[in-house]
Amino acid sequence: MGKIIATEGFWRIGKTSLCKRLDKRIKKAKFIYEPDHLKLKNRPGNVEYWYLKKWKEKMELAKKYKEKGCIVIMERSFVSTLSFSKALGKKITRPMKKLIKYHEENVPDIMIILEAPPLFLKRIIFNKTDKKILKIPILYKEKKFFIKYTKYLHKFVDDFKIEHFYVKVANDSNFYPLSSIVDIVLKKLKEEAPLR
């Protein structure tokens, strides 16, 4: 039987690296990358609506893979979009509400939430050499943004009743070895969401 596993956590915390490793370690895995509006030539008018729409497309694809017995590994989920929007104090539009209703009824089977201490996250955010971070000014210009974002991410995971577990990936100054993080995640998945 297939499963849909989503990974969540703050920017640059290691979601992509983890997903790629899980893709290699789990039999019959399918990796679905997160959508990225920064790669578009023309920026969408309502970025949050665009993301919710893309997440619907990706969830529909994930469900098809799941029906075929695949273990789907999704990089992020619609929860990221809602958390980002809420942390910025943006209003939910009527078209967004319809998409949120869809997502409420189509959540991942389990979510892995990567965590790191605030000091470590600050170091990532305010490192001005990170080109990906520099493309999203709000991440380093609004000093409390990452605290708000993380708070709302946890809130929405609870509100949507998504099965989840947390994995600490760093101490105040360094990432833990990726191989040990992967082993911890695989062990927790085996305990909480058997892959067969």
Which one-letter DSSP state was computed for residue 170?
A: B
pLDDT at residue 146, as a whole number: 80
Confidence band of 78 (pLDDT split at 50, 70, 90): very high
Token pair of 186 as six digits? 């695989």
Residue 132 scores a pLDDT above 80: no
pLDDT at residue 133, as a whole number: 62
| Of 137 and 156, more confident | 156
pLDDT at residue 76, as a whole number: 96
> Average per-residue pLDDT in the chain?
89
| Cβ partners under 8 Å of residue 163, min gap 6 | 109, 110, 111, 192, 193
pTM: 0.90
pLDDT at residue 135, as a whole number: 65
Render pLDDT for 11-44 as a digit per residue (tens, 0 to 9).
889 999 999 999 999 999 999 999 988 788 887 8
Strands 164-168 and 3-8: unpaired
Beta bridge partners of 71: 3, 29
Whether the CB-CB separation of 85 and 139 falls below 8 Å is answered with no
Residue 196 scores a pLDDT above 60: no
Render pLDDT for 142-169 as a digit per residue (tens, 0 to 9).
768 888 889 999 999 999 999 999 999 9
Token pair of 190 as six digits? 């085996």
Q: At what angle do helices 78-87 and 47-67 cross, to 10 degrees?
A: 160
Token pair of 132 as six digits? 């990906």
